[in-house]
Amino acid sequence: MTDVLFTDVRVLDPGADLDLPHAELLVRDGRIADLGSGLGRPDGAAIVAGAGAVLCPGLVDMRATLGEPGGEHRETVASAAAAASFGGVTTVAALPDGVPAIDDPALVRLLRARGEETGAITVVPYGAATRGCRGEELCEYGLLREAGAAGFTDGARAIGPARLMRLALTYARGFGARIIQHPEEPTLAAGGAATQGELATRLGLPTIPAAAEALMVARDIRLVELTGGAVHFAHVSTAEALALIRAAKARGLAVTCDTAPPYFDLNETAIGDWRTFAKLSPPLRGEADRQGVAAALGDGTIDAIASDHRPCDADDKRLPFAEAAAGGTGLATLLAVTLAQVHGAGLPLPRAIELLTAAPARLLGIEAGTLRKGAPADLCLFSPERAWQVAAGALPGRAPNTPFDGRALEGRVVGTWKAGWRVFGG
């Protein structure tokens, strides 16, 4: 493998406390060999002139639906890898709630192998928390963990029964694993399509009260206290739930959370006149909640930003709003929408990159999200000021259903490398 030398780049790795302007980084045999200044020019090395662009670890996305197995008409691991590379993502944690659900160790191994076949991403599968993700009976966590499951979740379905969640937290604790919860009280959310409020009422849509999220968060925090287990709340979207999480962390409980770009960049008005591309789960919230999520990115309450990539096809979205599938693609826009918080809301760039790299890698317990010497050369090179506009259907991947259609953004990936191989740009 040819050496690669990056020159005139801002080397940024908050997890390793690195922020080096106009620096160099050398890749050899697929790993980071050296970084700093004055590295020289190794014979035969490929030179990548950064022109001041930011070189950071490849992004680690801790929540995405990859379509396989069972949903290949919406997405495949290969098509997701193309979207991920476009967005600077090199590691993807795959949700298990497809058909069939990832409740068998052989399926965990299959997804890991499919990721390796792409040469562009590492796939880190979650195991199903319950058989078939149906919320009735726990899976064999030990066997799933041994096969490489990063944690246990029912994906976009909440683990509803309190007794079952208590057992899941206790069981997962024995294997040093987290339960990843979709925080939405299912009986309150059943049949809903939009956040309860004036807009949903005007549009005649069935609603989900924002309190459905906080109720589930409060219950599960209490169950963490009871069991000594660890819970991770996915795509948190309300200020009330974040306040509960903040207080739980202050008490030293094993409680973590992530959010996704729609919940700090958009509010409920994005659904417009029944715009199904903006129908998500949880639904987009009011402006006060959006501001609360944005503030929690910087104060340490939110532990990671995930893409929440959930591709849909035309048959899923070309329906009346209440009947359309919830979900949006997110791998290709993950970095750029996060950078909007840097440009317009004062989120420090190192904090933004930490939330996309080292922090999710720590939560997943994997070797990723770092530029330390000897680490795999999974790299993202991006221009923070480069402007572009999102267009549904023009992004890589099989599905066009982005909630950010038409959004003007600053910050674009110009190159992505996986284990030293360039997989995007050039």
CATH number at residue 213: 3.20.20.140
Q: Assess if residue 339 is contained within a domain.
A: yes
The confidence score (pLDDT) of residue 43 equals 85
- C-beta separation of 410 from 340 below 8 A: yes
72: left (phi > 0), else alpha (psi -120 to 50), else beta?
alpha
DSSP 289-340: HHHHHHHHHHSSS--EE---B----HHHHSS-TTTSPP-B--TTTHHHHHHH
Is the same domain home to 67 and 93?
yes
Is the same domain home to 355 and 420?
no
**Token pair in block for residue 8:** 């005139």
The residue written with tokens 């058909």 in the block is: 99
Is the same domain home to 207 and 352?
yes
Is the same domain home to 278 and 416?
no
Q: Assess if residue 290 is contained within a domain.
A: yes
Q: With a cut of 50, which residues of the chain have pLDDT below it?
A: none
Rounded to whole angstroms, how far apart are CA atoms 233 and 349?
Answer: 24
Q: Assess if residue 67 is contained within a domain.
A: yes
Q: What is the pTM of this model?
A: 0.97
Rounded to whole angstroms, how far apart are CA atoms 266 and 292?
Answer: 12
Closest alpha carbon to 383 in 342, 322, 323: 342
What 3 state SS string does 382-412 have? EEEEEEEECCCCCCCCCCCCCCCCCCEEEEE
The confidence score (pLDDT) of residue 42 equals 86
Is the same domain home to 78 and 41?
no
Is the same domain home to 23 and 126?
no
Q: Assess if residue 23 is contained within a domain.
A: yes
DSSP 240: H
The confidence score (pLDDT) of residue 114 equals 97
At residue 229, what is the residue type? G
Rounded to whole angstroms, how far apart are CA atoms 14 and 60?
Answer: 14
**Token pair in block for residue 79:** 């098509």
Is the same domain home to 382 and 348?
no
Instruction: Tell me the residue ranges of DSSP E strands in 95-228.
Output: 122-125, 127-128, 152-153, 179-181, 194-195, 207-208
Q: Assess if residue 400 is contained within a domain.
A: no
Residue 258 annotated in active site: no
Sign of CA dihedral 372, 374, 376, 379: positive
Q: Assess if residue 372 is contained within a domain.
A: no
Q: Assess if residue 391 is contained within a domain.
A: no
Enclosing domain of residue 419: 4-55+377-386+407-425
Q: How many structural domains is the chain composed of?
A: 2
CATH number at residue 24: 2.30.40.10
- Catalytic pick from 308, 316, 378, 405? 308
The confidence score (pLDDT) of residue 1 equals 76
At residue 361, what is the residue type? A
Rounded to whole angstroms, how far apart are CA atoms 51 and 74?
Answer: 38
The confidence score (pLDDT) of residue 41 equals 86
Is the same domain home to 413 and 284?
no
Q: Assess if residue 155 is contained within a domain.
A: yes
Is the same domain home to 108 and 241?
yes
Rounded to whole angstroms, how far apart are CA atoms 307 and 203?
Answer: 28
Rounded to whole angstroms, how far apart are CA atoms 160 and 185?
Answer: 7
